[in-house]
Amino acid sequence: MQNNEEIKDIRATEEVVDGKIIVEPEEIEGENADFSFPTEAALEAEIKREAYKRRYKRIIKSTVYGLIVVAAVAVLIATLVFPVMQIAGTSMEPTLEEGDIVVLVKSSKLERGDLCAFSYSNKILIKRVIGLPGDKISIDAEGNVYVNDKLIDEPYITEKALGECDVEFPLHVPENQYFMMGDQRETSIDSRSTVIGCVTDDQLVGRLMLKIWPLSQMEIID
């Protein structure tokens, strides 16, 4: 019969005290020698860290989705309601210079003096509305512009010129069309030329509303 004084296995030592077996852990050598169960505080901290990671991932995901939606809406608005354009060429100097960026608004009603973008031969041109449907337009050799036999004031130009003109005056603007000219009268090719002529409603892209670049020159366009 085995002696009850000391019974050993590879993990623990057993003692018989007052008829009861007392098991005391032995020090276990090897790669698991330092193993210990985490404390309650450590478990709580780990649970909090995992919960934070999950919340953080959800926040990032929802933020990305939100930015995608905002970008899509912005593109839709910019395309359908407020197109953005960069000025190319010098025909609208000094009012607009090459490289300026402007915001347009879709508008079915134009007034004399409005800056307007319209399509022509797969390009977008920007000119100033001089004559409305039904107006009578005349330009003399010095570049003075008359609308309905009245000389118009043009503070936005630096020099008057007849420019590239091969239409006959007086010219009556047809219904649903507009007579447009660039502010750089000497070089602008516009409604004074039969190449472009009067601009129809179907060609209109929008009225210039705001210049947003350069930032130092940001302004509302009257």
Q: Are 191 and 200 in contact (CB under 8 A)?
A: no
Of 48, 127, 136, 150, which is the active-site residue?
A: 127
Q: Where are any strands of DSSP class E within 84-186?
A: 84-86, 101-105, 115-120, 123-131, 136-139, 145-147, 150-151, 171-172, 177-181
Give yes or no: 36 in active site.
no
The Cα 92–Cα 203 span in angstroms is: 19
Name the token pair of 90.
């010098």
CA–CA separation, 195 and 165 (whole Å) = 10
> Of 36, 48, 91, 119, which residue is the catalytic one?
91
- Identify the residue whose tokens are 């010098």: 90
53 is catalytic: no
The residues carrying an active-site annotation are: 91, 127
